[in-house]
Structure 1
Amino acid sequence: MLVVGTVIGAGFASGREIVAFFGVTPSPWVALLCAAITFVMCAVFLLVGEKANADDLGKVNARIGGRADALLNIVMLFNSAISLAAMFAGFDSLFSEFYPLKPLYSIVFAIISVLIVTKGLDGLIKCNVALVPALALVIVFVTLSSITEPMTSPFTAVNALRSLTYIGMNMMLAASVLTTIHGLSKKQIFIASGVTAAIVGALVLLIILALGSSCAGEADMPIVAMSSRLGKIVYGFAVFAVAAGILTTMLTAHVALTEWLDGIVGHKLLSAFCTAAVCLALGFMGFKTVVDVLYPVLGVLGVVYFAINLFYLFPHRDASVKRFRRGKVTRLPMRDGDGSKY
């Protein structure tokens, strides 16, 4: 469930990501390809975690990137900043359905985030795993209830490329967790990757079919828009589930940014405030704009980050030299021309 929880977040649950990458009537074949890519990327990140044997992302990046680890850290911080901005904007979009008070909602939750991150209430962040079943059930119920006669587009090479960047974006969000997991056998890694891929593929397929059966794709949060047609109770559950997902994703991203800046300025409250202020300003672009414009950029960066991790798993040409320097290679006895040792 931990692996699944790191992939399925608030953006996924809202349905906006699917529209941003594939349009309002994607091909159902996208779901199958997304599942396959999820399996590969999930397995690679878990295998990297096993090989790197590190407890935090900074150490993992140092081992896979060498001298370029600072660049990898910047990429991951940029990812966290965009995610935090999207979550702030997400609160505005979600609660403005009840009463239009933009940007008051995002400002309030930015203040709440600063207070929580400063106090270090890690338990609230870890509850993301407990929310996964609720998020998944809401998606399944709302989408199944919305599917009638879906309209879909043909599968194209562009769909294939966007499937790669879409999963790359989601897996980069998950990489900070997956690459720090070690102690799993290869069998456990492949089983976890397979289960994650199956769940992601099934949910993507349901969202695609539901989008093709309605006009909800034009809304900021399609899943919430679909639920509004299913009665107040279902609508309430959908809003609560998405809000909870936004909250935990927001805290996870904010903690990463705060810890980075705190390491520079040495003041946690100031770090939390400054990072929240910058991301809040970015979030004023609106949830739909942030997701539609900036998430594809994260997708490209996610694919590059995955490629670097994949390269790390292969033995390097200078590996034997490094092993020799560490005393792990025994020099073979040399022989002269007549075959005698010297």
Structure 2
Amino acid sequence: MKNIFIIASAFIGIIVGAGFASGQEILQYFTSFGKMGIVGAIVAAVIFAYIGMILMRLGSRLQSENHQEVINKISGRFLGKIIDYILIFVLLGIGIVMIAGSGSILNQQFGLPTMTGTILISILVIITAMTNVDRVVKVIAGLTPLLILSVIFLFLYSMFTMDVSFSSLEGTALSHDSAAGHWLISAINYVSLATVMGASMTLVMGGDEKNEKIASWGGFFGGLGVGILVIINHLTIFANVEAVGSLDMPALGIAANISNMIGGLYAIILFAMVYSSAVSMFFSFGTRFFEPKTPKFKMFVTISVVVGFITSFFGFTELVSFFYPLFGYLGMILIVILIITPFRFQLFKKKQPN
């Protein structure tokens, strides 16, 4: 039971990141559909539980040490190559979004120019990518439980203090731009996006667990946990949509409306999560092409971050609106493959330990 809990917690930590914590992606994927967004969030929770179970089970069965090995195994080399390119594209795209997000956090909470945050995080990412990335990411990853507690706190506060009904907020919620044209497509797209972003790490983590049953249940409960967090985050933003719907960082706006101190603390946590995500994305993007810490790797990462910095001027909300649905649609190839994979499990023989 202990190992199941550890795996479930780790899976939640992989999926629940800076984009989720900002509230912007939840606003576009769920809250913009009003009450039907609640149904969409429930559907997403069910799919998350299934996908989490399959990813962990696959990783455990094949004892994977990298995602490419598993992807090629379940999809064939041709489709595997396409999915690999999609994952590479996602790494760069999410890295760019994170740079833009850093500027929005400092601007919204502290009134600093947007460029202050984007310059700061770009410099930090370049420096970190050239030194000890793992240590920094592991330290900041320790903030994930604190982030989850913050999300739950904002939910409880919102539910106990809201003085209007969800029905009266429906019109305001529906007036916001959506990630997709239909609530069901939006929910599937969101799960697809999260899966593409977290598949690599999840498969490798599953490979560390020899017991396939434990890995499967850990992935199931982890996916269910992510789904529950999506539901409560959606309800939180829905309850406050009139006040924070127009902000780049709706969740930060809710925290700031409670008190400046809580808003400041949430901003620090959110900035650290954005920093961690940006480092992970650009570092992984660089290692896909060059050996870490080599001169070519350092130059490549530096150029990539500079490109990300320039692209970030399009704006955080605009970049989320463009990149996230696109990545979600591209990732549906992987989702379809994962859905049919259980019916082909007999084709994959479990690796025997050396």
Question: Considering the TM-score relative to the shorter chain, is it more than 0.5?
Answer: yes
Map residues 68-87 of structure 1 onto 2, 5 A cutoff: 68=78, 69-87=80-98
What residue number does 2:352 align with? none
Q: Name the amino acid aligned to 1:302.
A: G
Determine which of 220, 225, 228 is the counterpart of 2:248: 220
**Deviation of residue 266 (structure 1)?**
6.4
**Deviation of residue 284 (structure 1)?**
1.8
Matched, 1:284 2:308: no
Q: Which runs of 5 or more structure 2 residues have no equivalent in the other structure?
A: 1-8, 175-179, 350-354
Moved more, 285-294 or 179-188: 179-188
**Deviation of residue 37 (structure 1)?**
0.8
Give distance in 2, aligned partners of 1:187 and 1:303.
26
Matched, 1:204 2:230: yes
What residue number does 2:324 align with? 295
**Deviation of residue 157 (structure 1)?**
9.6
Determine which of 170, 175, 181 is the counterpart of 2:194: 170
**Deviation of residue 70 (structure 1)?**
2.8
Give distance in 2, aligned partners of 1:250 and 1:36.
29
**Deviation of residue 205 (structure 1)?**
2.2
Give distance in 2, aligned partners of 1:46 and 1:185.
10
TM-score with structure 2 setting the length: 0.82
Q: Name the amino acid aligned to 2:193.
A: M
What residue number does 1:96 align with? 107
Matched residue count: 320
Q: Name the amino acid aligned to 1:290.
A: L
Gap change, CA 1:316 and 1:235, over 3 Å in 2:
closer
**Deviation of residue 269 (structure 1)?**
1.3
Q: Name the amino acid aligned to 2:117.
A: Y
Matched, 1:269 2:293: no
**Deviation of residue 82 (structure 1)?**
1.2
What residue number does 1:306 align with? 335
**Deviation of residue 75 (structure 1)?**
0.4
TM-score with structure 1 setting the length: 0.85
Q: Which structure has the larger Rg over C-alpha atoms?
A: 1
Q: Any conservation in 2 of the 1:150–1:211 contact (CA below 8 Å)?
A: no
**Deviation of residue 100 (structure 1)?**
3.4
Give distance in 2, aligned partners of 1:272 and 1:218.
33
Determine which of 42, 61, 79 is the counterpart of 1:51: 61
Map residues 1-342 of structure 1 onto 2, 5 A cutoff: 1-24=9-32, 25-27=34-36, 28-68=38-78, 69-97=80-108, 98-147=110-159, 148=162, 149-151=164-166, 158-180=182-204, 181-182=206-207, 183-214=209-240, 215=242, 216-262=244-290, 267-315=296-344
Moved more, 161-170 or 139-148: 139-148
1:284 is paired with a residue whose SS is helix
Q: Name the amino acid aligned to 1:138.
A: S
**Deviation of residue 94 (structure 1)?**
0.3
Gap change, CA 1:253 and 1:314, over 3 Å in 2:
same
Q: Name the amino acid aligned to 1:193.
A: G
Q: Any conservation in 2 of the 1:4–1:196 contact (CA below 8 Å)?
A: yes
Q: Any conservation in 2 of the 1:84–1:254 contact (CA below 8 Å)?
A: yes
Give distance in 2, aligned partners of 1:159 and 1:184.
38
Q: Deviations over 1:311-337 (max 9, x none)?
A: 4554399x69x9xxxxxxxxxxxxxxx
Q: Name the amino acid aligned to 1:163.
A: A
Give distance in 2, aligned partners of 1:309 and 1:114.
35
Gap change, CA 1:144 and 1:48, over 3 Å in 2:
same
Between Structure 1 and Structure 2, the one with more helix by share is 2
Give distance in 1, aligned partners of 2:142 and 2:27.
26
Give distance in 2, aligned partners of 1:190 and 1:62.
21
Q: Name the amino acid aligned to 2:297.
A: K
Gap change, CA 1:128 and 1:313, over 3 Å in 2:
farther
